[in-house]
Chain A
Amino acid sequence: MQIYGETFDSRLMLGTARYPSPDILRQAIAASGAKIVTVSLRREAAGERAGQAFWDIIREAGVSVLPNTAGCHSVREAVTTAEMAREVFGTTLIKLEVIGDADTLQPDLFGLVEATQILSSEGFQVLAYTTEDLVAADRLVEAGCRVLMPWGSPIGSARGLNNVYGLRAMRARFPDLTLIVDAGIGVPSHASQAMELGYDGVLLSSAVALAGDPVKMAEAFRLAVAAGRLGYEADPLLPRDMAEPSTPVLGQALLGGAVLS
């Protein structure tokens, strides 16, 4: 998976919040095979580097850290958080979230585009948490974003891919852009489905962190993402209306002669 020119040999990205303990988080990261984990920067943790102990634990996992602006509800807040994150984590990568609705945590697409413009001009490499809206996607790309992260469904809802058509259309519209399904993944088959659509990767958090056995669930997602990607690369069959037998049935009584055509 390519993120701004860098190649990562896992297509699964993991959030780091709400695990039962840092130990279990570490084990889950290892079991998932993820090479990138996201860390949300609370403002109070950034001041005086109050979150240092937790960040050290994540760094010890030996994976790349992708800071995010989770919980930011305005452009100003998101930009400030991104700037703090760049300082704390020493990376220009930022997963940009500008939340527009406190209930659904739906991204504010207008604010997102504006924040992307500001951050791109400041040298950030933005991974934008967006919806499957193609017009917003165009604007984000114009603003300099090269990794789009459309939601599967609202954050933490575990509903899977709500709009498969929209996600498919986005993949078709941006064949060369890195596209990652972010948010709403509940079970491994959701991740497989995103990969089968040709998405470059999947980001998930609570599906693993809040599972009864996060480490086992991380392993399940590792397998699901790999399976979905292989399925996509193998050029799968398309659904069709007619049955097509996998073995010839010549010699059996035929109805309509369909198999001879």
Chain B
Amino acid sequence: MEITVIGAGVAGLVTAVTLAERGAAVTLHERSGNLGDNAASWLAGGMLAPYCEAESADPGVVAPGLAAIDWWAERVPGVTRKGTLVVASGRDVGEVSRFARRSGGGLPLDGAGIAALEPNLAGRFHRGLHFAAEAHLDPRIALAALVHRLEGLGGKIRFGSALDPETAPGDTVIDCRGIASDAPGLRSVRGEMLILRTGDIRLSRPIRLLHPRMPVYIVPRGEGLFMIGATMIESSDAGGVRLRSAVELMNAAYALHPAFAEAEVVEMKAGRRPALADNLPKVTRRGRIVSVSGLYRHGFLLSPDCAAKAANIILGNTKREEIAA
């Protein structure tokens, strides 16, 4: 069976690899000339943090999210299983209890516990939570590894190839275009992120800084790089980072550790997350077109599950027309 996948963001790559692993002949088409250009997932945090996400997302994300950690660890380098550290400072410490209640867990930590996990944060925070089962990866390394894996499995990838699902070749077409698709009910939730570089601070795992107005996370990427994210704005604006957002993200980094004041700003980018009304992804079939859409802020967390569902629809003769992820 000839399968055409459109879109080489995380949804398209994971779906293409999943199908190729199951023996399908897959060609992946990407309108951009380079991996990651115009892809929301290129700007992702790369946190595999199902419990933390369940604080605000449907609890249904936990099981597929935990499975996703294994999925990634078996296929790409750099999956770090050191959990997530959640902290709050000063008068926001009450947020820690609320977060623990909502996320359904996390090991409560005091200042010494936090310092034991992240020595650079010693003395800075006195209450936190450790979600030991969570993990993180570098999205760019992971996506590049999937390209390599797809090619190793005999799949083809065509950059600079914009296809319309209706007229695309292949027995089955999988639409993974993300926000570029015009699927009904799909909207854009804008996100802005920074990458900073500093040799003055070391972190081993993603840190979520709870703040009632502006919760942010900092993900270590190695070699002194840190990704700071991310805003959540109901907007389809594709323009660059706004100063207000940049200031908020930078403030958060500085609040985590003043050493970030001297960090170099390596990158500042904005992207658009594709989201449906329930902020959960959906895998649907219409004729020979299967759509994987609405991964929202859960591209790395939920795309393995969505890809498995798409593969079941296509290869497993799944009869259901619509499978909510």
- Determine whether the beta carbon of B279 is less than 8 Å from that of A20: yes
A50 surroundings in chain B (CB, below 8 A): 188, 190, 235-237
- Determine whether the beta carbon of A21 is less than 8 Å from that of B277: yes
* 23 residue pairs bridging A and B, Cβ less than 8 Å apart: A20-B56, A20-B57, A20-B58, A21-B278, A21-B279, A22-B277, A44-B233, A44-B239, A45-B233, A45-B235, A45-B237, A47-B237, A50-B190, A50-B235, A50-B236, A50-B237, A51-B236, A52-B236, A53-B188, A156-B212, A156-B213, A212-B101, A212-B102
In the assembled complex, the CB of A39 is this many whole angstroms from the nearest CB of chain B, namely: 9
CB-based A-B contact count at 8 angstroms = 55
A235 surroundings in chain B (CB, below 8 A): none
> Which residues of A does B touch, CB under 8 Å?
20-24, 26, 42, 44-45, 47-48, 50-54, 57, 156, 206, 212
A20 surroundings in chain B (CB, below 8 A): 56-58, 279
- Determine whether the beta carbon of B236 is less than 8 Å from that of A53: yes
- Determine whether the beta carbon of B234 is less than 8 Å from that of A51: yes
B237 surroundings in chain A (CB, below 8 A): 44-45, 47-48, 50
Most buried by B among A47, A51, A206: A51
B223-254 interface with A by 8 A CB criterion: 233-237, 239, 242
- Given contacts A20-B279, A45-B235, A54-B234, list 15 more A-B pairs with CB under 8 A: A20-B57, A20-B58, A21-B279, A22-B187, A22-B278, A23-B278, A42-B235, A44-B235, A44-B239, A45-B237, A47-B237, A50-B236, A53-B236, A57-B187, A212-B102
In the assembled complex, the CB of B255 is this many whole angstroms from the nearest CB of chain A, namely: 13
In the assembled complex, the CB of B162 is this many whole angstroms from the nearest CB of chain A, namely: 22
- Determine whether the beta carbon of A57 is less than 8 Å from that of B277: yes
Q: Mark B255-283, 1 if CB is under 8 A from A, else 0.
A: 00000000000000000000001111000
B236 surroundings in chain A (CB, below 8 A): 48, 50-53
In the assembled complex, the CB of A89 is this many whole angstroms from the nearest CB of chain B, namely: 14
In the assembled complex, the CB of A85 is this many whole angstroms from the nearest CB of chain B, namely: 15
In the assembled complex, the CB of A49 is this many whole angstroms from the nearest CB of chain B, namely: 8
In the bound assembly, the distance between CA atoms of A203 and B191 in angstroms comes to 28
In the assembled complex, the CB of B73 is this many whole angstroms from the nearest CB of chain A, namely: 29
Looking at chain B, what size class is its interface with the partner chain? 20 to 34
Please give me the residue from chain B that is nearest to A26 by CB atom.
B277
In the bound assembly, the distance between CA atoms of A24 and B58 in angstroms comes to 11
Most buried by A among B56, B212, B235, B277: B235
> Across chains A and B, which 7 residue pairs bring their CB atoms closest together, nearest first?
A53-B187, A54-B234, A21-B279, A50-B237, A45-B235, A50-B235, A23-B278
In the assembled complex, the CB of B139 is this many whole angstroms from the nearest CB of chain A, namely: 23
In the bound assembly, the distance between CA atoms of A52 and B101 in angstroms comes to 34
For B242, give its contact among A22, A23, A44, A54 (CB under 8 Å).
A44
In the assembled complex, the CB of B146 is this many whole angstroms from the nearest CB of chain A, namely: 28
Q: Mark B199-217, 1 if CB is under 8 A from A, else 0.
A: 0000000000000110000
Please give me the residue from chain A that is nearest to B280 by CB atom.
A21
Please give me the residue from chain B that is nearest to A71 by CB atom.
B244
In the assembled complex, the CB of A154 is this many whole angstroms from the nearest CB of chain B, namely: 11
B57 surroundings in chain A (CB, below 8 A): 20
B187 surroundings in chain A (CB, below 8 A): 22, 53-54, 57
Most buried by B among A22, A57, A206: A22
In the bound assembly, the distance between CA atoms of A85 and B233 in angstroms comes to 17
In the bound assembly, the distance between CA atoms of A57 and B234 in angstroms comes to 11
Most buried by A among B57, B188, B237, B280: B237
B56 surroundings in chain A (CB, below 8 A): 20
Please give me the residue from chain B that is nearest to A56 by CB atom.
B187
In the assembled complex, the CB of A67 is this many whole angstroms from the nearest CB of chain B, namely: 14
CB within 8 Å for A42 and B233 given contacts A21-B277, A21-B279? yes
B265-305 interface with A by 8 A CB criterion: 277-280
In the bound assembly, the distance between CA atoms of A15 and B275 in angstroms comes to 21
In the bound assembly, the distance between CA atoms of A50 and B236 in angstroms comes to 5
B101 surroundings in chain A (CB, below 8 A): 212
